[in-house]
């Protein structure tokens, strides 16, 4: 059972799009040289005002363009082409490209930072943002288990619980494991409110 907090950010598992798989919806987007914040695999990223990619550190709202899945760059020390699971902070590479899953209808798995109830299915929730690991470059972001509500501006929509040995809510109960894995999507918000995925906003970045 999921009795240990081991968050891993956003792990893509599918899409609500009418056609195609999520794996075919990855876009190469630039990272500015010496960008000073680590971006880990599974972090949410956004388009900055200069058109490059930055980590989206929003908690109660996002302006995400998608999920960071890694990057490539020419190592400024070895001059070798490098493919990395994560972006090291302040890397001086001048040709860095992020691999971003930018489908606004992507479905992804996250771990909650505390127990949920099956009654939280269909509600919206916030994000807990934590710096990722520097050993394997994995995100440590989580779904904020204290926040599920009908509030239309919250960034994530809880679709379901993961039906597996680590997170399945006990049969016949409304309680979940201590740190359940849940299936979520970007919340598009309602008419008149900003979407938490930038492609669904009428106003450009």
> Would residue 72 count as lying in a domain?
yes
> Would residue 57 count as lying in a domain?
yes
> Would residue 65 count as lying in a domain?
yes
> Would residue 186 count as lying in a domain?
no
Q: What is the per-residue pLDDT for 60?
A: 96
Binned at pLDDT 50, 70 and 90, residue 3 comes out as confident
Contacts of 108 by beta carbon, 8 Å cutoff, 6+ apart? 10, 11, 12, 13, 67, 183, 184, 185
What is the number of structural domains in the chain? 1
Range of the domain at 27: 23-101
Whole-prediction pTM value? 0.91
Give the integer Cα–Cα distance in Å for 97 and 28. Answer: 6
Question: Which tens digits make up the pLDDT trace of 41-78?
Answer: 999 999 999 999 999 999 999 999 999 999 999 999 99
> Would residue 54 count as lying in a domain?
yes
Q: Where does residue 79 fall: left (phi above 0), alpha (psi -120 to 50 degrees), or beta otherwise?
A: left
> Would residue 64 count as lying in a domain?
yes
Number of helices followed by number of strands (H, E) in the chain: 0, 13
Question: Which tens digits make up the pLDDT trace of 147-193?
Answer: 999 999 999 999 999 876 555 555 545 566 789 999 999 998 655 56
Residue 183 tokens read as: 């299936």
Give the integer Cα–Cα distance in Å for 141 and 128. Answer: 6
In a 3-state reduction of DSSP, which class is residue 144?
Answer: coil
> Would residue 112 count as lying in a domain?
no
Give the integer Cα–Cα distance in Å for 108 and 139. Answer: 14
Nearest alpha-carbon partner for 124 in 157, 159, 161: 157
> Would residue 34 count as lying in a domain?
yes
**What residues pair up with 47 in beta bridges, in sequence order?**
53
Contacts of 191 by beta carbon, 8 Å cutoff, 6+ apart? none
């Amino acid at each position: 059972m999921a009795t240990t907090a081991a968050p891993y950010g956003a792990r893509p598992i599918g899409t609500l799009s009418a056609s195609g798989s999520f794996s075919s919806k990855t876009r190469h987007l630039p990272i500015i040289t010496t960008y000073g914040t680590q971006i880990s695999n599974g972090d949410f990223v956004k388009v900055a005002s200069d058109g490059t990619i930055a980590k989206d550190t929003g908690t109660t709202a996002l302006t995400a363009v998608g999920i960071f899945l890694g990057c490539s760059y020419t190592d400024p020390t070895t001059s070798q082409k490098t493919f990395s699971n994560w972006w090291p902070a302040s890397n001086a590479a001048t040709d860095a490209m992020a691999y971003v899953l930018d489908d606004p209808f992507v479905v992804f798995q996250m771990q909650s930072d505390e127990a949920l109830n099956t009654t939280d299915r269909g509600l919206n929730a916030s994000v807990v943002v934590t710096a990722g690991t520097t050993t394997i470059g994995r995100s440590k972001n989580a779904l904020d288990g204290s926040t599920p509500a009908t509030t239309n501006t919250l960034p994530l929509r809880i679709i379901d619980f993961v039906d597996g040995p680590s997170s399945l809510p006990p049969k016949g109960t409304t309680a979940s494991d201590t740190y359940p894995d849940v299936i979520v999507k970007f919340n598009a918000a309602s008419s008149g409110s900003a979407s938490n995925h930038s492609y669904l906003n009428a106003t450009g970045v």
